[in-house]
Chain A
């Protein structure tokens, strides 16, 4: 089963990278863009037929490794 996860900084946490990218986009002339937040995207192949079990495992991985729960949130996308 293929599952993907997106990790982003929590809403209130400063995102220096997003800030710099946003400014550059504006400088390049894309005037309508108002904000950019940068995150990470993971595609995970998991050998588990039971969807609920797979979900639990991925949750656990997100909490323990892929995200830094102090400053980041994660969203898991199931296909």
Chain B
């Protein structure tokens, strides 16, 4: 087949990139070779637009065992235990087929974790949809939630946290970001780097079909009206097979058979074989007729580019093949020796004895394009005039409206569809500031959260990105954990546009500043560009997944108020910043202005102080103040504890709307008993942390002096009806 400019274009390769290919390999590529380049050089695999900036992120400290560049990042949690985790996007496939897209997203990220020898112990997700009024949203939300549940529940891994957000800027580009977390012994970690020549290359798992051919390229294409035609490339997930693959891999990993292992994710057999060999600075030779195929007459092109799910590539110590094969046949999985490592430093593919491709591995990995794309600074929202007349609005009406809004509603309708108690170690369920999972058989645990603040990021990417990192940090602190590290999923529009590239560059800058200051390194992540349709881009949406350690689970903290007659403290200063707040958005329909400032010194100081109070058992409940401001946070503490509060606004120079709904950062609400009040205040003052006592807990009512008094069960109803109503309209009970 002659390689025409049309074919090159169809493979997403630019004319100058094609010239570079010819220069690198010293010949014109055949169709298979072109397909391989297309898979390896697209944004998804090569990070060609983002690499330059990703390199600037802080990725190390004394807890980090593995940073970015492997299947997942790893942090040390002492006693020879380590936590493996990563977040990844599956945005485009989920928009095309929400159930399968979300399901295979979960499947893919789980493989990244157990590839490294870890047993997955939790998953989380961050999902963004268009306006709830948009015609596609209900189906997409329904399908994505069913898909996440369908896969995670079947695998028997608890889904213990996440977020669900709505904004019309995601109408045609939803986001599905899934995070997986695993536990591994420090001395039993497996990596993807190949070692030694003439070692057998083994294919295990499901058979290869024609699914998802060019999926990775699809993920790096913006949508247009022809998206419909891209449909057949969506892969179907089989969580049952993945569960078998998990058990078989972990069984094989008990001894020393495996030299290296890599899951076949985006770009399937191509990227896995290339990555393993090039990391080991070796060559690899495959006999493609030995690849187990589901369909008849599959061509080498289809075999190499298929994105069939639930497959792994292993390099074994030679001589261990039979023993390994026994394990995989016990679990009913395919096992086939498909090639060997070589010293050629080339990828050589044979099919029925004929060489069908021969490429230097360096051309696919280290010599892949890396761009320094043009970018411009974002024109950040300046302080503008406030919307008029908000000061006359009744506080109780605003509170009710915010609690009832889709974004601020309680999300149990979603997380009750995910098994969150399987494995018997879920100490804190979804709905709190972080989920908490006990390390099996021990009295320590890890806290997990995933967060994003796209509104802030759109208004000011640097500040917004800093804020998301801090929000993650606060959520981990609030349950009594010491924040360890993060993983990030960077969702953006088209990086070939200087404005979008600018958002990306500035976001990285913000994440970098916050992570460096908080000693909160980035150990893994994923970039998803081209989230745009017909020139409408999503707002910059960095999603941050955080992991924290609770050394003694008896010190775990929760957000629900515990008993009446305790004092309610607000830690951190309230300035009344209303721009970009839920109050302005939901009540005033006003979206202008800058996000709240982030003061990293206060963030760290206040956070560490809260941890100190928790470890000294001086506080009964803790909740960070975030989206919606103080009154929303208070309401959530009342609702989850079924306990009321009597609040008196301190004499302030700022107005009550600003005080109650402002979204200033670095703040927490804590509940402190009379007995502990003196000691707590002593510590607060010693550390120069700003605090206010705003009232006391009481039975049954949230009571705001001179404003309103409302029964907690009614408050709870406001907060929980939205999802049920939204779905019962069409789907029946």
Contacts and interface: CB of A to CB of B under 8 A. Distances in A.
**A and B from one assembly?**
yes
B97 A70 contact: yes
B232 A16 contact: no
A16 B234 contact: no
A14 interface: yes
- How many residues of A sit at the interface, in one of the four size bands? 10 to 19
Interface residues of B, number: 20
A64 to B, nearest CB: 11
Given A71-B97, A71-B100, A16 B241 contact: yes
A70 B232 CA distance: 6
A10, A13, A68: residue with the most chain B Cβ atoms closer than 10 Å: A13
A20 interface: yes
B332 interface: yes
A16 B209 contact: no
Contacts of B671: none
A6 interface: no
A12 B332 contact: no
Contacts of A9: 236
Contacts of A15: 236
B236 A13 contact: yes
A23 interface: yes
Given A23-B332, A68-B97, A70-B97, A16 B236 contact: yes
Contacts of B308: 14
Contacts of A16: 236, 238, 240-241
A26 B295 CA distance: 20
B96, B232, B309: residue with the most chain A Cβ atoms closer than 10 Å: B232
B270 interface: no
B78 to A, nearest CB: 40
A71 B236 CA distance: 8
Nearest to A9: B236
Nearest to A10: B232
A58 to B, nearest CB: 22
B134 interface: no
B391 interface: no
Interface in B154-175: none
B231 interface: yes
A12 B238 CA distance: 15
Nearest to B238: A16
Nearest to B302: A12
B465 to A, nearest CB: 35
Interface in A22-79: 23, 68-71
Nearest to B295: A12
B206 interface: yes
Interface string B72-112: 00000000000000000000000011001000000000000
A19 B206 CA distance: 11
A35 to B, nearest CB: 10
Contact of B211 (A12, A19, A20, A68): A12
Contacts of B206: 14
Contacts of B309: 14
B96 to A, nearest CB: 7
Contacts of A10: 232
A12 B210 contact: yes
Nearest to B332: A23
B294 A70 contact: no
Interface string B315-348: 0000000000000000010000000000000000
B240 A14 contact: no
Contacts of A12: 209-211, 232, 295
B234 A71 contact: yes
B515 to A, nearest CB: 39
Contact of A13 (B96, B211, B241, B332): B211
Q: Which 5 A-B pairs have the closest CB atoms?
A: A16-B238, A12-B210, A14-B236, A70-B97, A70-B231
Given A13-B236, A16-B238, A16-B240, 12 more contacts: A12-B210, A13-B211, A14-B206, A14-B211, A14-B236, A14-B238, A15-B236, A16-B241, A70-B231, A70-B232, A71-B100, A71-B234
Interface of B: 96-97, 100, 206, 209-211, 231-232, 234-236, 238, 240-241, 294-295, 308-309, 332
25 contacts: A9-B236, A10-B232, A12-B210, A13-B236, A14-B206, A14-B209, A14-B235, A14-B238, A14-B294, A14-B308, A15-B236, A16-B236, A16-B238, A16-B240, A16-B241, A23-B332, A68-B97, A69-B231, A70-B96, A70-B97, A70-B100, A70-B232, A70-B234, A71-B234, A71-B236
